[in-house]
């Protein structure tokens, strides 16, 4: 928008931090729209997916871009997957979005097996909140219902060390390959990148192709036939038949709250459409939930 309408964008020199530069860019667009330098109401229809990752300011800006004659704004929002710090649950009316009487609640989870859904609900229910919808349609807080597809219970294993976890996960992937899954149907998730690097090293030693994301801003390739390695944050929005999560005992050691750890683990385990493995080698409040 800034380039299109000839408005100077915040530079990397002034904002070397990417997140700060992004926030400054959005602020410039908002200011330009308010002053009439960038026209509002540009689009007949706007669809926002993964809206739980949006700042309220972003949602308000998007709402201003909708043609008032069509009022065609669709927002897809899942509070359970709100895993970024500081992202408050939006109050739609305060953002210029007419939600009251126009919401549709999608209750059924078609991605995961009944066993994975039940497992995720069991350790996350009290953090996510009680089912129900407020009278004003502002906040729908619901636990998902499974579609009845059956599968295996998620496997939670305790190991003696992170290195033992890495060997456990690598062996699990090799077994999945023997069971008939393709390498590209498998993903390894982790809270810290060095953990994934250790698993990848062991798996590569067995001749398995790997594709590893180096940081949270880089996505793995979807074209290569390989086991995907990516952080739990980067995996959001993706899905794989077989998902292993290593290093769960380390979640929370950088000051994350138990709620943040639970939400992140919920997102991680529900990336698996068929089978899931979770490993830990150190006890934590999160781990106690998983093994309870």
CATH number at residue 168: 3.40.50.300
If one compares 56 and 246, the residue with the highest pLDDT of the two is: 246
Could you tell me if residue 182 is inside a domain?
A: yes
If one compares 79 and 28, the residue with the highest pLDDT of the two is: 28
As a whole number of Å, the end-to-end CA separation of the chain is 50
What is the average pLDDT value for the chain, to the nearest integer?
86
Contacts of 142 (CB under 8 A, 6+ apart): 105, 107, 131, 132, 133
Q: Flag the least confident range among 72-86, 90-104, 183-197.
A: 72-86
Could you tell me if residue 14 is inside a domain?
A: no
CB atoms within 10 A of CB 271: 25
pLDDT of residue 198: 95
**SS3 labels along 205-249:** HCCCCEEECCCCCCCCCCCCCCEEEEECCCCCCCCEEEEEECCHH
- Is the pLDDT at 214 greater than 80? The verdict is no
Could you tell me if residue 203 is inside a domain?
A: yes
pLDDT of residue 109: 84
pLDDT of residue 84: 59
Could you tell me if residue 209 is inside a domain?
A: yes
Evaluate whether 249 touches 282 at the Cβ level (below 8 Å): yes
- Is the pLDDT at 131 greater than 50? The verdict is no
Angle of CA points 111, 172, 156, to nearest 5°: 70
Q: What domain range includes position 254?
A: 132-136+141-291
Confidence of residue 244 (pLDDT cuts 50, 70, 90): very high
Could you tell me if residue 176 is inside a domain?
A: yes
- Is the pLDDT at 144 greater than 80? The verdict is no
Q: Which of 123, 152, 118 is nearest to 274 (CA)?
A: 152
Could you tell me if residue 199 is inside a domain?
A: yes
Could you tell me if residue 220 is inside a domain?
A: yes
pLDDT of residue 132: 42
- The pair phi, psi for residue 12, each rounded to 5°, is -65, -30
Evaluate whether 262 touches 124 at the Cβ level (below 8 Å): yes
> Using CA atoms, how far apart are residues 105 and 109, in angstroms rounded to an integer?
12
> Using CA atoms, how far apart are residues 1 and 153, in angstroms rounded to an integer?
48
Could you tell me if residue 210 is inside a domain?
A: yes
pTM score over 0.85: no
Q: Which of 245, 246, 189, 251 is nearest to 216 (CA)?
A: 189
Q: How many domains does the chain have?
A: 1
pLDDT of residue 134: 45
């Amino acid at each position: 928008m800034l380039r299109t309408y000839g408005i100077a964008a915040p530079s990397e020199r002034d904002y070397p931090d990417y997140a700060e530069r992004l926030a400054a860019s959005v602020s410039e667009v908002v200011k330009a729209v308010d002053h009439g330098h960038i026209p509002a109401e540009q689009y007949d229809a706007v669809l926002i997916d993964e809206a739980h990752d949006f700042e309220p300011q972003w949602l308000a800006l998007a709402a201003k871009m909708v043609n008032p004659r069509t009022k065609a704004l669709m927002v897809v929002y899942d509070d359970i997957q709100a895993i970024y710090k500081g992202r408050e649950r939006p109050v739609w009316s305060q953002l210029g979005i007419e939600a009251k009487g126009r919401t549709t609640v999608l209750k059924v989870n078609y991605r995961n097996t009944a066993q994975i859904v039940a497992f995720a609900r069991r350790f996350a229910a009290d953090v996510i909140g009680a089912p129900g919808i407020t009278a004003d349609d502002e906040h729908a807080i619901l636990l998902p219902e499974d579609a009845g597809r059956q599968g295996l219970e998620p496997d939670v294993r305790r190991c003696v060390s992170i290195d033992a976890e890495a060997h456990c996960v690598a062996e699990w992937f090799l077994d999945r390959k023997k069971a008939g899954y393709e390498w590209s149907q498998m993903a390894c998730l982790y809270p810290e990148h060095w953990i994934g690097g250790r698993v990848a090293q062991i798996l590569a030693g067995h001749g398995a192709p790997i594709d590893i994301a180096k940081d949270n801003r880089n996505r793995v390739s979807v074209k290569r036939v390989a086991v995907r390695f990516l952080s739990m944050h980067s995996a959001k929005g993706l899905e794989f038949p077989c998902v292993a999560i290593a290093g769960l005992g380390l979640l929370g050691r950088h000051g994350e709250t138990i709620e943040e750890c639970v939400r992140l683990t919920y997102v991680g385990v529900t990336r698996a459409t068929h089978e899931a493995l979770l490993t830990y080698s150190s006890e934590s409040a999160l781990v106690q939930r998983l093994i309870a």
